[in-house]
Amino acid sequence: MQFWIIQFLNSLALGGLLFLLSSGFSLIFGLMRLANLTHGAFFMVGAYIGASLLRQRVVGMDLWLAALLAGIALAALGGLLERLVLRRLAGNSLGQVLVTLGVAFILSDACLLVWGGDPIPVPTPRALARPIFFAGLAFPTYRLVVIVVSVVVAVGLHALLERTRIGAMIRAGVDDMPIARAVGIRVSRLFTAVFCLGAGLAGAAGVLGGPIFSAYPGLDADMLPLALIVVILGGVGSLAGAFVGSFIIGAIYTFGSTLFPDLAYFILFLPMIVVIAYRPEGLFGRIAA
C-alpha cells in the first residue's frame, strides 16, 4: 500500500511539473505555431538557478522566492530570445526548429560551464521534508505541495485565459491569427508576453522540480520529449489538454518505469502514436499536431 501511495503521488507530482512546463510550451505552439525546443533548457536553467539559490545557507533562500526569481530570469531570457531572434523567423518552421534547438544546446553547454558536470542535489525545504502521516501511511509532503502548486497555477492560467480580455485576445490569435490582426489585436506583443510567460513557468518549474530530480546535465533533454508528448496528447494550444495530458504522461512514466523499466519509453510513446493515428488534433486541441 505504501508503495502505491508513493508511486501515485510521484506520478501526480511529475504530472504537475509537466503541466508547468508544457502549458507554456502548448500556448506558445498554439499561438505562434512555434515548437520551442528551448523549453527543456529553460526548465534546466531554472533548476540550476534554484539549486544555487537554495544551497546558499547564508542567504537561506526560500523555495518560493527562488522559484519566483528563476521564473523572472527565464521570462526575461525568453523575451530576449523571442524579440531578438525568433521574431525574424516568423513562418519559417525549419528555421525555428533549428534555432530553438541550437539555443537549447548553447544553454546546455553554458550550464555545464557554470555548474559543472556533476548533478547538484537540491535540498527539500526543511518545513516540507518531513512526510505527513495519515492512517498509518506516510505521504511525502513536498510531492503534495508540488501537486497543489500546479493545480493553483492551472486555475490561475485558466482564469487569465478565460476570464480576461488579454486571454480572449490570445485565444482569438490561436483561433484565427490574420483576422485577429485585422481587428487590431497587436499579436506581436501577445507573442512576447506568452513567450515570457511560458519561459517563466518553465524556469519556476525547474526550481520546484529540483528537490525531486536534482539539477544535472541532460535534464533538459529528459524533460523536453515529455513536454512534447503531453502537448501532442492533449492538443496544441489547449490548457485543459496540457493539464490532462500532463497527469496521464506523469502516471504512465512513473508506473511504466517502476513496473516495466525496460518498456518505459515504449509505454510512453504508445499513447502518442494512438492519438496521432486516430485523433491528430489531440484530446482537447483543434489543430492537427
What is the C-alpha to C-alpha distance for residues 21 and 96, in angstroms, rounded to an integer?
Answer: 19
Instruction: Of 198, 53, 37, give the one whose Cα is nearest residue 115.
Output: 53
Contacts of 242 (CB under 8 A, 6+ apart): 19, 22, 23, 25, 26, 230, 231, 234
Nearer to another protein, 241 or 250 (CB): 241
Q: What is the DSSP letter of 132?
A: E
What is the C-alpha to C-alpha distance for residues 282 and 242, in angstroms, rounded to an integer?
Answer: 10
Contacts of 40 (CB under 8 A, 6+ apart): 21, 104, 219, 220, 221, 222, 223, 224, 227
Nearer to another protein, 180 or 233 (CB): 180
Nearer to another protein, 5 or 287 (CB): 287
Q: Which residue has the cell 482537447?
A: 284
Site string for another protein, 160-189 (x = CB under 8 A): -----x--xx-xx-xxx-xxxxxxxxxxx-
Q: Fill in the amino acid letter for 64.
A: W
According to the binding rule CB under 8 A, does residue 32 interact with another protein? no
Q: Which of residues 227-286 bind another protein (CB under 8 A)?
A: 286
Cα dist from 263 to 197, 256, 267, whole Å: 35, 7, 6
According to the binding rule CB under 8 A, does residue 118 interact with another protein? no
According to the binding rule CB under 8 A, does residue 69 interact with another protein? no
Nearer to another protein, 184 or 261 (CB): 184
The CB-of-289 to another protein minimum distance in angstroms stands at 18
Nearer to another protein, 84 or 182 (CB): 182
Task: Please list the alpha-helical segments (H only) found in 56-164.
Answer: 63-84, 93-115, 126-129, 141-163
According to the binding rule CB under 8 A, does residue 14 interact with another protein? no
Size of the site for another protein (CB under 8 A): 20
What is the C-alpha to C-alpha distance for residues 230 and 238, in angstroms, rounded to an integer?
Answer: 11
Q: Which of residues 187-206 bind another protein (CB under 8 A)?
A: 187-188
The CB-of-106 to another protein minimum distance in angstroms stands at 31
Q: 52-60: long-range contacts at Cβ-Cβ below 8 A with a sequence spacing of 24 or more?
A: 52/115, 53/207, 54/122, 54/123, 54/125, 54/207, 54/210, 55/120, 55/122, 55/123
The CB-of-252 to another protein minimum distance in angstroms stands at 29
The CB-of-241 to another protein minimum distance in angstroms stands at 13
The CB-of-180 to another protein minimum distance in angstroms stands at 8
Nearer to another protein, 55 or 286 (CB): 286
Nearer to another protein, 71 or 285 (CB): 285
According to the binding rule CB under 8 A, does residue 88 interact with another protein? no
The CB-of-231 to another protein minimum distance in angstroms stands at 18
Residues that bind another protein (CB under 8 A): 165, 168-169, 171-172, 174-176, 178-188, 286
